[in-house]
Amino acid sequence: MAKSNKIIIQVCLCGAGTKKEQAPTVPYTAEELAEQIVACAKAGASIAHIHVREDKEVAGKLEIGYKSMSLAKFTDAVEAARAACKAAGVDILINLTTSGGEYEDQKRIQHLAALHPEMCSFDPNTINWANSYIFENSPRFLNFLAQEVVKEDIKPEFEVFDTGHIDSVLYYVKKHNIPEPPHIQFIMGVGGSMPGTTENLAFLVNKLPAGATWSVSGIGKAHLPMIFAGLALGADGLRVGLEDNIYYARGQVGTNVQLVERAVELSKLAQREIATAEDARELLGIKRHTLRDEKTLAATWSAQ
């Protein structure tokens, strides 16, 4: 099959750590997420990657916008996003994070069966994130997650931070019969993992299994270099957003919409066609998900 000229733009709106003190427009609430998802869809994004936040007491101090894996917060965010997109007449794939780190296994996946997203993140290895804390993804959890994505027919986005992670992806795909080909999201430039250089990205791309689709994101200063390298190497997608990079230019904090708009503009300059949400489903082999009926949803919730 000839490789498509269409390119998928994914926006990662807030992540677990970006604070309003760093980027004032980073969304914390369901309403903020929904508003920005609509704006980013209109700007050309076809996938929205969602983390949620909550206000929480940490070390005796109330922290606003703390990372969360709350099912209630995910439900609020997804329902608000779906309603806002419907009202605005836009379509976008919902991609929910499972990278809960400090949270127990069940809490990291409970929102998948409940909310039935079309995609979710799948981090196939544990790493020492930026040499500062353990980003834990135990084999126990990964087997649990693999079973869930197969059961719920959710497309996993395998987040690859280093070379050996590709082998781990293939291990879980084969062991649990996750539908192939896999979709790989290269995350370049995290301290303690592969630096965001063109040489490293080219090396990783050459290690991909046949038929795999791939996207790339550069963390911080690697952001623009990885966009350019991804376009030069024929990426199927580009990932942008305030989760990975807060700057639009040196010293200028950006917004999610600005980062999407720039990725679209650069892709068009590279003679790539911007994928719609329906194009993205076709490229990634995703069946459009419909909302669960009330009876099924009630049974899912009671099982949580």
Q: How far is it, in rounded angstroms, from Cα 154 to Cα 301? A: 18
For residues 85-122, b (16+ Cβ closer than 10 Å) or e, as one string? beeeebebbbbbbbbbeebebebbbbbbbbbbbbbbbb
Residue 211 lies in a domain: yes
Residue 289 lies in a domain: yes
Residue 45: closest CA among 236, 257, 253:
257
The widest CA-to-CA distance across the chain, in whole angstroms, is: 58
Count of structural domains within the chain:
1
Per-residue confidence (pLDDT) for residue 297, from 0 to 100: 46
Residue 13 lies in a domain: yes
pLDDT tens across 237-263, in order? 999 999 999 999 999 999 999 999 999
Residue 1 lies in a domain: no
Per-residue confidence (pLDDT) for residue 58, from 0 to 100: 87
Per-residue confidence (pLDDT) for residue 55, from 0 to 100: 95
Dihedrals phi, psi of 282, to nearest 5 degrees: -65, -45
Residue 114 lies in a domain: yes
Residue 294 lies in a domain: yes
Residue 30 lies in a domain: yes
Q: Which domain holds residue 117?
A: 6-303
**Rounded average pLDDT per 10-residue block, the chain, 304 residues:** 89 97 98 98 98 92 94 98 98 94 89 97 95 93 98 98 97 98 98 96 97 97 98 98 97 97 98 98 89 47 44
CATH of the domain at 299: 3.20.20.70
